[in-house]
Amino acid sequence: MSNIIRWEPAREMMTLREAMDRLFDDAFTRPLSMSNTAWSVPAVDMYQTDNEVVVKAALPGIKADEVQINVTGEVLTIKGETRQENETKEKTYHMREQRWGTFERSLVLPTEVVADKAKADFEDGVLTITLPKAEEVKPKSISIKTK
């Protein structure tokens, strides 16, 4: 037995509000904003433990000496540049998605850190920055006295 459903064209039309919501969702929630000449945003993960803030940035194909890290106040900035390979005229590209040029990402840190004691490690295209928290923001235990 099959059910017959009446077609209502008005139900399938998108309202203006739904179209605008979709437009803004697409425009502002894309993970990467890239053009052919530059990286504007490398992918980043940031988390914190009781003693430190850790930032991991995906920088595939980039060398450690092409990256610069700065901490100014509560803002961490990762920037650098990767160079394009020498292009030969004998090749016919069918697809070209490799990125080159400058990149920069600034992040507001969730808490105060001691920038002088920060460490940065670069392994397999992943930059890991470890920033120790300032003593005044670390959680402290309070002992309870009984009477």
Q: Does 2 reside within a domain?
A: no
Query: In the prediction, which pLDDT does 87 show?
Result: 65
Q: Does 146 reside within a domain?
A: no
3-state secondary structure the chain: CCCCCCCCHHHHCCCHHHHHHHHHHHHHCCCCCECCCCECCCCEEEEECCCEEEEEEECCCCCHHHEEEEEECCEEEEEEEECCCCCCCCCCCCCCCCCCEEEEEEEECCCCECHHHCEEEEECCEEEEEEEECHHHCCCCCCCCCC
Q: What range does the domain containing 119 cover?
A: 33-84+100-136
Query: In the prediction, which pLDDT does 29 show?
Result: 56
Query: In the prediction, which pLDDT does 65 show?
Result: 87
Query: In the prediction, which pLDDT does 19 show?
Result: 77
Query: In the prediction, which pLDDT does 33 show?
Result: 44
CATH of the domain at 61: 2.60.40.790
pTM, two decimals, is: 0.63
pLDDT along the chain (147 residues), means of 10: 71 71 68 45 88 92 88 91 72 74 88 92 93 84 82
Q: Does 63 reside within a domain?
A: yes
Q: How many domains does the chain have?
A: 1
Q: Does 112 reside within a domain?
A: yes
